[in-house]
Amino acid sequence: MLSQKFVFITQSTYICKNKSHQSIIMKKEEIITPDMIEKNMSYLQLLAHIFPTVAAASTEIINLEAILNLPKGTEHYLADIHGEYEAFQHVLKNASGNIKRKVKEIFGNNLREAEIRDLCTLIYYPEQKLELVKAAEPDLDNWYTVTIHQLVRVCRSVSSKYTRSKVRKALPKDFAYIIEELLHENADDHNKQAYVNVITETIISTERADDFIIDMCKLIQQLAIDQLHVLGDVYDRGPGAHIIMETLRHYHSFDIQWGNHDILWMGAAAGNECCICNVLRISLRYGNMETLQDGYGINLLPLATLAMDVYADDPCTEFIPKLEKMNTGFSPKEIVQLSKMHKAISIIQFKLEGDMIDRHPEWNMSNRKLLHLIDKEKGVLLINGKEYEMKDNNFPTIDPEHPYKLTPEEAEVINNLRHSFVMRDRLKKHIRCLLSHGCIYNIYNSNLLFHASVPLNSDGTLKEVLIDKKKYAGKELLTQIGLTIRKAFNSDTEESELQFAVDYFWYLWCGTDSPLFDKSKMATFERYFLKDKATWKEENGYYYKLRDDEKICDYILDSFGVEGKARHIINGHVPVHASSGEQPVKANGKLLVIDGGFSRAYHNTTGIAGYTLVFHSRGFELVQHEPFSSAEESIRTGSDIKSSTQIVELSRHRMLVNDTDKGKELRHQIQEIRQLLYAYRHGFIKEKTK
């Protein structure tokens, strides 16, 4: 045993002298003393209930030390999904192409391309593919036998970097024992060949083959992605944000960094009327009614009635939905109705935002109040003595004397909408999911994750931003925003704090110093009503102007306390124009921007259909996706998302669990259990025997 005599070298390292007076280098965390045991006695006594004997504690240390030497799990990063649920779900099912790569590695020399394609489609969509197979396959029992053995080999490959314990926890309940046996028994072993074959035959003879195959395919999907990171903007533009949220709600392991569109929906669910109007306006602008009506059952009839009454003779030309890119198939009559609803909710929004701005003068957003500057007789907007010609001058619900006052009909509509958003159970569940799995930022394995920006000054220093009478910057700012957001959903929040928290959602959506917006203004009114496109310009904050500088990125990483030799900032929000040659890797590799345009509305702009950043034990790979046709076509033809992979960064050594945040946690646990062992062996705590 080591004596208690040691010499301090650095903050974390000692030279210890053993009984033979040999010097042994040990980390500070490995030195255990009686004083340490006495100091931690209460905790160690609790720990002794979990590991009541020396044998139990020793076994756990052995187990944890072994886990530290496994390869790190594969992380997938996605951003700005914007309701494109089919593409999102397919990327999860195929693990951004990783499953097909493994299938080719295993069967590349034994299966034809069409057979590989069919096997992959089965793994992605087992229920649907099985129906097609059963309708066409003449020898179904033989197909079952071959397929089950193939799936076992694929599952064995994707589970190879995990402990048996972790894999066991992921196993489907009905087939847990069978799958575990098949994964760890080799059919080539003559002594076990009959055993393995009988298992397969019995699965088929008891008519459980379909259920077994479905569960195996879902297990492969789960094991192929260890941790999913969603860097914001699940909502808006696309048709299935509610489907994405339902998928995430049941996903095995994920985190989310809230985006500006997520915050907008959270604000709407909290009862912020400005957020409600913006949610409806964006949904109507892109003809995306599925999430509102089918997903959450939001009642739009009162708004439709108001719009058709007030704007009956108004063509609402500037409010025709952007349908050409969305392929929604509305009838001409429906498009007319949507256009009128679009204008009606926009005018209500501008009125309510005026009141919000007056309620919070500290936000310095008075330049966003524009209704009182309209000169209807001239058809212009007067700003700082300059007249701007308007594209639309029909405002039947605006009283020039009280331009921000809602009409009784408008007030009734917004009251009904507020009740509808606040009371919908499914929306509540999805907001709780966002709160329980997310925040504004996250630090994970030496990577700083956030959706959009960190507000900066012109010299690159962290900008101080006011939140309810106090200023914050950098990490403190983002932390405080997260705390403020949660207050809006806590029943014990005081009334004054609650009102500010609910109001603050709108500032996060469009406030100049919001880390989710970070622009000079949101020019929504100007885009709808003013002909001069110069008024539409929204100037980006200094983060976007300085983020290509490696020193700035290092400064931000330092300010957040992100450690590690290979550390990065990863975010989305601003689409990368790949078709124009823009690169997602910036600042000499320190910054990765992974908004590649999942939303179909952006495909023409970006030239691609989204990115997945994959962080595995060998390093980072960026997977660039082409547009996804549909799940139906993928099932029918075996088509997959066409993706190309770019190696971003390779590690000199294969990264292990020991190199991750989880490794740090496990090392800490090992040290605590070693203290328990010391306490047992030196009589501080007695072992518990039966």
Print the domain residue range for 599.
75-231+572-655
Model confidence band, residue 486 (pLDDT cutoffs 50, 70, 90):
very high
> Do 213 and 100 fall within a single domain?
yes
Query: What is the arithmetic mean of pLDDT over 312-321?
Result: 94
> Do 82 and 2 fall within a single domain?
no
Please state, in angstroms and rounded to a whole number, the distance separating the CA atoms of residues 120 and 639: 10
> Do 84 and 224 fall within a single domain?
yes
The size of the chain, in residues, is: 690
Position of tokens 């049941």? 250
Please state, in angstroms and rounded to a whole number, the distance separating the CA atoms of residues 521 and 273: 20
Q: Shortest CA distance to 505 belongs to which of 486, 490, 526, 479?
A: 486
DSSP 228: E
- Phi, psi for residue 26 in degrees, rounded to 5: -135, 145
Cα 687 to chain center, whole Å? 46
Structure confidence at residue 23 (pLDDT): 38
> Do 102 and 170 fall within a single domain?
yes
E strand spans, 504-628: 568-571, 585-586, 591-593, 611-616, 619-625
DSSP line for 168-186: HHHS-GGGHHHHHHHHTS-
For 122-158, write each residue's pLDDT tens digit.
999 999 999 999 999 999 999 999 999 999 999 999 9
Q: Does 16 fall in a domain? A: yes
**What 3-state DSSP class applies to 432?**
helix
Helix axes 332-359, 495-510, angle to 10 degrees: 120
Per-residue 3-state assignment (H helix, E strand, C coil) for 565-587: CCCEEEECCCCCCHHHCCCCEEH
Please state, in angstroms and rounded to a whole number, the distance separating the CA atoms of residues 16 and 25: 6
The answer to whether the beta carbons of residues 371 and 349 sit under 8 Å apart is no
Please state, in angstroms and rounded to a whole number, the distance separating the CA atoms of residues 601 and 663: 41
* pLDDT at residue 195 is higher than 90: no
Q: Does 139 fall in a domain? A: yes
Q: Does 537 fall in a domain? A: no
Structure confidence at residue 25 (pLDDT): 38
Secondary structure element (H or E) that encloses residue 498, with its range: helix 495-510
Helix axes 260-269, 273-285, angle to 10 degrees: 120
Please state, in angstroms and rounded to a whole number, the distance separating the CA atoms of residues 78 and 91: 10
**What 3-state DSSP class applies to 116?**
helix
Of 631 and 454, the one with more pLDDT = 454
Model confidence band, residue 602 (pLDDT cutoffs 50, 70, 90):
low
> Do 224 and 84 fall within a single domain?
yes
Return all residues near 36 (Cβ < 8 A) that are at least 6 apart.
Answer: 675
Query: What is the arithmetic mean of pLDDT over 51-70?
Result: 95
Structure confidence at residue 457 (pLDDT): 98
> Do 96 and 206 fall within a single domain?
yes
Q: Does 286 fall in a domain? A: no
Q: Does 18 fall in a domain? A: yes
Structure confidence at residue 574 (pLDDT): 84
Return all residues near 360 (Cβ < 8 A) that are at least 6 apart.
Answer: 503, 507
Of 401 and 627, the one with more pLDDT = 401
Give pTM, 2 decimals: 0.90
Position of tokens 């941790």? 227
> Do 136 and 8 fall within a single domain?
no
The least confident of 163-167, 202-206, 249-253, 370-374 is: 163-167
Structure confidence at residue 7 (pLDDT): 33
> Do 16 and 91 fall within a single domain?
no
Please state, in angstroms and rounded to a whole number, the distance separating the CA atoms of residues 680 and 667: 20
> Do 138 and 81 fall within a single domain?
yes
Model confidence band, residue 417 (pLDDT cutoffs 50, 70, 90):
very high
Q: Shortest CA distance to 613 belongs to which of 642, 643, 588?
A: 643
Structure confidence at residue 603 (pLDDT): 62
* pLDDT at residue 6 is higher than 50: no
> Do 196 and 83 fall within a single domain?
yes
> Do 168 and 83 fall within a single domain?
yes
| Single-letter code of the amino acid located at 611 | Y
Q: Does 535 fall in a domain? A: no
Q: Does 392 fall in a domain? A: no
Model confidence band, residue 330 (pLDDT cutoffs 50, 70, 90):
confident
For 527-586, write each residue's pLDDT tens digit.
999 999 999 999 999 999 999 999 999 999 999 999 988 999 999 988 787 767 788 899
Q: Does 108 fall in a domain? A: yes
> Do 581 and 636 fall within a single domain?
yes
- Number of structural domains the chain divides into: 2
